[in-house]
Amino acid sequence: MQTAFQRKHLLGIRELSAGEITHLLDTAETFRDVSRREIKKVPALRGRTVINLFFESSTRTRTSFEIAAKRLSADAVNISVSTSSISKGETLLDTARNLEAMAPDCIVVRHSMAGAPAHLARMCNAPIVNAGDGSHEHPTQALLDALTIREHKGRIEGLKVAIIGDILHSRVARSNIHLLTKLGARVSVAGPGTLVPDDFVELVEQGLRVEPSIEDAIEAADVVMILRIQRERQDAAFFPSMREYAVHYGLRAAHLERAAPEAIVMHPGPINRGIEISSEIADGSRSLILDQVTNGVAVRMAVLYLLAGGNPVQDEASV
Partner 1 sequence: MKVLVANGYLIDPSQGLNSGKDLLIEDGRIAGVLDRGEPPPKDAEFFDATGLMVAPGLIDLHVHLREPGQEYKETIATGSAAAVAGGWASVCAMPNTDPVNDSPAVTRFIVEEGERAQLANVFPVGALTKGSAGKELAEMGEMKQAGIVAVSDDGKSVPSAGMMRRAMEYARGFDLTVVDHCQDSSLSAGGVMHEGRWSLILGLRGIPASAEEVDAIRDCVLAKQTGGRVHLAHVSTRGAIEAVRRAKEAGLRVTCEVAPHHWTLTDEAVEQYDTNTKMNPPLRSRDHLDAMLDGLEDGTIDAIATDHAPHHADEKALEFDQAPFGITGLETAVGLAFDLVHQGVISLERLVELCSTNPARVFSLENRGTLRKDAWADITILDPEFEWTFDVSRSKSKSRNTPFDGRSFKGAAVATIVAGRVVYLHPDFERIVASKQSKAASG
Burial level of 129, CB count in 10 A (0-12/13-18/19+)? buried
Question: Between residues 45 and 173, which has the closer beta carbon with respect to partner 1?
Answer: 173
Question: Between residues 208 and 264, which has the closer beta carbon with respect to partner 1?
Answer: 208
Question: Between residues 20 and 137, which has the closer beta carbon with respect to partner 1?
Answer: 137
Q: How are strands ordered across the β-sheet holding 106-111?
A: 75-80, 49-54, 106-111, 128-133
Question: Between residues 139 and 310, which has the closer beta carbon with respect to partner 1?
Answer: 139
Question: Between residues 202 and 262, which has the closer beta carbon with respect to partner 1?
Answer: 202
Q: State the Cα–Cα distance between residues 185 and 206, nearest whole angstrom.
A: 10
The one-letter code for the residue type at 71 is R
122 is catalytic: no
113: left (phi over 0), alpha (psi -120 to 50) or beta: beta
Residue 192's φ and ψ, nearest 5 degrees, are: -60, 145
* Run of H or E residues at 110: strand 106-111
- Nearest distance, CB of residue 32 and partner 1, angstroms: 30
In the 8-state DSSP scheme, what is residue 168?
Answer: T
Give me the DSSP letters along 227-294: ----GGGTTS-SSS-HHHHHHHHSB-HHHHTTS-TT-EEE--S---BTTTB-HHHHTSTTB-HHHHHH
60 is catalytic: yes
C-alpha torsion sign, points 287, 289, 294, 298: positive
- Nearest distance, CB of residue 256 and partner 1, angstroms: 29
- Nearest distance, CB of residue 177 and partner 1, angstroms: 10
Number of H helices, E strands in the chain: 11, 9
61 is catalytic: yes
Question: Between residues 185 and 203, which has the closer beta carbon with respect to partner 1?
Answer: 203
63 is catalytic: no
Pairing mode, if any, of strands 186-190 and 128-133? unpaired
Site residues (CB under 8 A) for partner 1? 14, 91-93, 111, 113-116, 118-119, 122-123, 133-137, 168, 171, 174, 197, 199-200, 202-203, 236
Q: State the Cα–Cα distance between residues 12 and 3, nearest whole angstrom.
A: 17
Q: Which of 9, 23, 71, 110 is catalytic?
A: 110
- Nearest distance, CB of residue 170 and partner 1, angstroms: 9
Q: Which of 8, 48, 138, 171 is catalytic?
A: 138
* Number of Cβ within a 10 Å radius of residue 59: 9
152 is catalytic: no
Q: Which residues are catalytic?
A: 60-61, 88, 110, 138
